[in-house]
Amino acid sequence: MQLPLLSCGLLGLLASQVAATALTYKVHANERACFYTATQNKDEKIAFYFAVQSGGSFDIDYEVTGPNGKYIMDGQKERQGDFVFTAREVGEYSFCFNNEMSTYTEKFVDFEIAVENEARVTIPSKQGSSPEQTSALEESLFKLSGQLSTITRNQKYFRTRENRNFSTVRSTEQRIVNFSIVQILMIMAMGALQVFIVRFFFQGARKGYV
């Protein structure tokens, strides 16, 4: 009965080591949107993931700055990114998306910001459990945590592909509808012009007979 208790305790400690924020945000045209997170200790790991789900060419500018406005990374016209860096300073870090390159196109961006403390927790040994059992359980849980992270990243990737494909299909469908409307208007205009020309010829022929 000791192992399940150890599992629950270690899972709780693992969960307490990570603070994450996952959002979907609509960045309007000519908008600069910033989001913030803070570190409590030096050398904490910050994971930053984003992907443009729809809008324009599925690209956006991004910028990451640390305390005192120090630049950490940036990029222009990127479709997605997945980064991990070490926070050398304690303080507030900003993550900004810039859509000023678009004059009228809004873009939906999925992103996640996670602050992780790399210090591996050690669970106290329980009565009746050997250190080997505790160490094996700890390693199994950390491997499971890594596998879950991999599954989460794969899910994000497939979700991004699905959203982009759906956006492309919807855009293509709208173009087909617009092209069909233009064709119908052109056919109607050509028919009206032909009627006008035929009437004009008949009216001219009648005047000639008179």
pLDDT of residue 32: 92
Q: By C-alpha distance, which of 43, 46, 35 is closest to 82? A: 46
Structure tokens at 42: 């030096």
Residue for token pair 């700055």: 65
Q: Residue 91 in contact with residue 67, Cβ under 8 Å?
A: yes
DSSP-based three-state secondary structure for 27: strand
**What average pLDDT does range 88-100 have in this prediction?**
92
pLDDT tens digits for range 140-176: 776 787 678 778 777 877 877 787 787 778 888 888 9
Mean pLDDT of the chain: 78
- Listed in sequence order, the residues at least 6 apart from 23 whose beta carbon sits closer than 8 Å to its beta carbon are 35, 110, 111, 112
Chain-centre distance for alpha carbon 100: 18
pLDDT tens digits for range 27-76: 999 999 999 999 888 888 898 989 888 888 888 999 999 998 888 999 99
Element housing 146 (H / E): helix 131-209
> Can you give the pTM of this predicted structure?
0.60
- In this structure, of 12-21, 75-84, 123-132, 146-155, the range with the lowest mean pLDDT score is 12-21
pLDDT of residue 73: 92
